[in-house]
Structure 1
């Protein structure tokens, strides 16, 4: 493995604690583990425990879905508009495009079943941090959190991920589960950082798009779901791209 993550989990959430126990049992030397008493997502966390701002933090968490979709997901962290779940409004954390994309690729490689949707999610909820953050989640029902297939998929995705030095892009448009971006990275040599869903694109302005670029390290441009974005959103993307000299790829 080419990275050295810090894992944060909590005893107060059955899913998080189950994932933590599986990881600590199967990968005790995988990285640094921090078990908290608080709830996830946290508004803040004790950054003094993290010795290096460039170290990637992976939160082990439950995935929630009103539709009760069985999912294994990774996603970047923060809020482009309202803070419906946690964190601060219009504030996002640094992301780790090369690592979260590598985790997704490996999870898709090792999972062969049909029960779970293995996917990115768009950027949402806190906490805030100067570190690069990823949420790694299993959802949505209690039986999923102890399902060995789901736990193994998430664990192997993290343990065996091979980050690639591909160009990094901000995703824009499409649904919350980012199906086009999730599929695209399996075929193309790109990494995806922050993802702004179609729903959030309708709520933001150019300042938030600039923030997404700033918090996606070495951002080369935008991947745009051309059928999942309105013309006003596309105009903002192109204006920011022209302003910063970035690429726009429509898929």
Structure 2
């Protein structure tokens, strides 16, 4: 049996929104457990998967080492997303820190990540948002950005983990329809299985992974961790090795956002060659 924990924070309106939709739409049932003095809900209708909803009273990014308190194989964090532009959005991303741990987690430490789960969630997010007419082809007033994000922030858990988020203001966090979309995304993503993906670590490009988003939706490539351009100066052999070791599937190759490597391009290429790692370029794959 695969045990999956979906975590929300009592301090986070988007997380509460997603949690309430999961309970309502999928008939999660309250069990006899409590966590942080909050009720725990359970769903057992997906074969070989036991899914539980937990509510913590901590901020999610600082809820460290939950894997020592919750017996789960996978952690899905249902959360709000903030951005400077306040663009309505839905996002998924792996967690960990390429450098300092200013926003939870541990310095230069990545959490385990499942590339298959991340890809399945992002594909389902796009399918469900499209079905509910929230994709970019709609009226501007209903525009939601659908994106993966690079690996960032905490908390640290030593089990595969992913954040699934609603952005970017109180209006979107509390919109019940947005909570419904993410609830359906999570449950559909957990239903999906695919062992035929090509597993990769992504290096370069912006925080919102424009080229890697395209690859996930258009090809069989799935990403576990992504190091964005603004963290490339911190990327060294040990972090590259860690990104591979922390991927629960076997890595097939590294993907470089070739035009998003800046002045670090040659150094990164040399690092990968020294490690005897195969790499591919986004500009050649997306031609």
TM-score normalised to structure 2 length: 0.80
Aligned counterpart in structure 1 of residue 66 of structure 2, from 46, 56, 77: 46
Q: Does the 8 A contact of 1:45 with 1:127 survive in 2? A: yes
Does residue 17 of structure 1 match 2:16? yes
2:57 maps to which residue? 37
Runs of 4 or more, structure 1, over 6 Å off, are none
How much does 1:4 deviate?
Answer: 4.9
Aligned counterparts of 2:22 and 2:78: Cα–Cα separation in 1: 9
Over aligned residues, Cα RMSD in angstroms?
1.9
Q: How does 1:1-251 map to 2 (within 5 A)?
A: 4-27=3-26, 28=28, 29=43, 31-52=51-72, 55-112=73-130, 113=134, 114=136, 115-161=143-189, 162-165=192-195, 166-217=197-248, 218-240=250-272, 242-251=273-282
Gaps of 5+ in 1: none
Q: How far apart, CA to CA, are the structure 2 residues paired with 1:58 and 1:237?
A: 33
CA displacement at 1:231 relative to structure 2: 4.8
Q: Secondary structure at the match of 2:180?
A: helix
Q: In 1, Cα distance between the equivalents of 2:8 and 2:231?
A: 28
**TM-score normalised by structure 1 residue count:** 0.91
How far did 1:216 drift? 1.6
Structure 2 residue matching 1:124: 3-state secondary structure: coil
SS of the equivalent of 1:92 reads: coil
Paired with 2:219 and 2:100, the residues of 1 have a C-alpha distance of 32
SS at match of 1:219: coil
- Contact 2:19/2:183 (<8 A) preserved: no
Evaluate the alpha carbon distance shift between residue 3 and residue 160 of structure 1 in structure 2; reply closer, same or farther with a 3 A threshold. Answer: farther
CA distance in 1, matches of 2:129, 2:89: 12
Q: Evaluate the alpha carbon distance shift between residue 149 and residue 18 of structure 1 in structure 2; reply closer, same or farther with a 3 A threshold.
A: closer
Aligned residues: 247
Structure with the greater alpha carbon radius of gyration:
2
Q: How far has the Cα of 1:3 moved from its partner?
A: 6.4
- For residues 136 and 154 of structure 1, the distance between their equivalents in structure 2, rounded to whole angstroms, comes to 7
Between the aligned partners of 1:156 and 1:11, the Cα distance in structure 2 is: 21
